[in-house]
């Protein structure tokens, strides 16, 4: 399971780096991706309900910084080929707070936490959560401009890969 965790962290780290997001949010939340490894069965649709380990991990992320749970959902939605190859479904991730019965947690709060304007293509991910479906759950939003990686992001990805190779 540790190997799977390392691969998930690396893939999602690279995907988040390609998005051009705010580097402070990125550096704060990218390490949280690996904490959701117990949620793979649920988030890919292979399990109907999240495991207790999954809910514990998601709740821990929520407690440490609620914006990171939103950031993870946003990054999976805008995912690159590597994220799509994992089969992660945004519709399942959007249901995670309610399926895990996380108190005071609602994905409709994510646009505010992520500072998304109502005109942002990503705003609808969270406000139209009930309309999410598996066929479009991992495709990028129309109009989302994928910027090239910044120098800082490249260094972060390289350091993450090097550190993970030691474990």
Helix (H) / strand (E) containing 152: helix 151-165
d(CA 110, CA 91): 15
d(CA 72, CA 166): 25
Q: What residue segments make up the domains of the chain, in order of their start?
A: 2-140+149-165
d(CA 30, CA 138): 18
* Whether the Cβ atoms of residue 74 and residue 122 lie closer than 8 Å to each other: yes
State the DSSP code for 33.
G
Q: What are 163's two structure tokens?
A: 């550190």
Residue 135 pLDDT > 60: no
Q: What are the tens digits of pLDDT across the range 73-119?
A: 998 888 867 677 788 899 999 999 999 999 888 999 999 999 999 99
Q: What are the tens digits of pLDDT across the range 30-85?
A: 888 889 999 999 999 999 999 999 999 999 999 999 999 999 999 888 886 767 77
d(CA 89, CA 114): 20
């Amino acid at each position: 399971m540790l190997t799977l965790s390392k691969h998930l962290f690396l893939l999602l780290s690279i995907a988040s780096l390609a998005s051009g997001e705010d580097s402070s949010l990125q550096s704060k939340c990218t390490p949280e991706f690996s904490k959701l490894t117990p949620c793979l069965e649920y988030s890919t649709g292979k399990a109907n309900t999240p495991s207790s380990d999954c809910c514990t991990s998601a709740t821990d992320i929520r407690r440490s910084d609620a914006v990171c749970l939103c950031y993870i959902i946003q990054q999976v939605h805008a995912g690159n080929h590597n994220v799509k190859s994992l089969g992660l479904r945004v519709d399942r991730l959007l249901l995670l707070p309610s399926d895990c019965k996380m108190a005071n947690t609602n994905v409709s709060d994510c646009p505010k936490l992520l500072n998304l304007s109502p005109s942002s293509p990503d705003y609808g991910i969270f406000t139209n959560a009930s309309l999410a479906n598996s066929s479009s759950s991992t495709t990028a939003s129309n109009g989302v401009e994928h910027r090239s990686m910044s120098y800082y992001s490249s260094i972060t990805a390289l350091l993450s890969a090097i550190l993970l190779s030691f474990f």
